Amino acid sequence: MDSKISFVLTVSESKRLIAKAVVKMGIVKEALREGIIAIAKGTTNAYIIEELLNKRIKKITYTTGLTLPEGKSRESLNISPMPDVVLRRGEIVDNLSVIEAVREMKKGDIFIKGCNALDYTHKIAGILIGHPEGGTMGKTIGTIIGRGISLIIPVGLEKLVYTDINEMSRKLSSGNSPRLMPVSGLIITEVEALKILTGVKAYQLSAGGIGGAEGSVRLLIEGTAREIEKTGEIIEEIRGEAPFLV
């Protein structure tokens, strides 16, 4: 008989959980052995790099556009950007951007890109575009689709939106706001992450909190006693993950 538990994950705990799951995916393991993995800059992707390389980095340096409170800017954070991380057969390729890497990639290789909005029902991600040439995604999506490169989109449930991302993209076709690019790929949220790591079924019960739990998600977990036990062990491992920007 299946058991049930529920628990809360902060935003940073969710990012760590998702990162741990992405590196356990079969297609990622295969690409680590035989192919190329390109990791675009982003907050969740910084955690993925840590899991892939088995070492800590200054995660804020592996970001581009940031959403910050009024009065704060990327410039005020004095960020010295980290070079793009591209792995060929598990080894870092020096002086190769993710955009350049895509030109060398083929079916079976992996491109990892986060997003800013998620329509989970229709499995559509939305990526904010501030660059007039479409940014990283605009410069790579055609080749990714054309060559059958696997696009993994790691994203926490904090980024769920109630709007139709395709419709919102059309609304933003003019004006001063950043554009919103709808993208489909292998979406990995906390739900998929737990399935990959332990086999349980996860459901979002609620969201939000205070005192450091802003943006958190409360999940209901169903699974066998052993799956629940294993899930508890993983949650304890990531519990207390520091906020992204400290």
Q: What is the pLDDT of residues 60-83, one digit of tens each?
A: 999 887 777 777 766 667 778 899
Quick one: what percent of the chain has pLDDT higher than 70? 96
Please choose, from the candidates 84, 104, 117, the residue with its C-alpha nearest in 3D space to the C-alpha of residue 144: 104
Indicate the pTM of the whole model: 0.94
Segment 13-30 mean pLDDT: 98
Grade residue 130 by pLDDT with cuts at 50, 70 and 90.
Answer: confident
Report helix, strand or coil for 218.
strand
Give counts: helices (H), strands (E), the chain.
8, 12
Strands (DSSP E) contained in 40-162 are 85-88, 91-92, 110-112, 117-119, 124-129, 150-154
- Domains of the chain listed by start with CATH number: 12-189 (3.40.50)
Q: What is the pLDDT of residues 219-246, one digit of tens each?
A: 999 999 999 999 999 999 999 999 987 5
Quick one: what percent of the chain has pLDDT higher than 90? 80
Q: What is the pLDDT of residues 136-164, one digit of tens each?
A: 898 999 999 999 999 999 999 999 999 99
pLDDT at 131: 78
Segment 156-173 mean pLDDT: 91
pLDDT at 62: 94
Please choose, from the candidates 78, 17, 74, 19, the residue with its C-alpha nearest in 3D space to the C-alpha of residue 46: 19
pLDDT at 67: 76
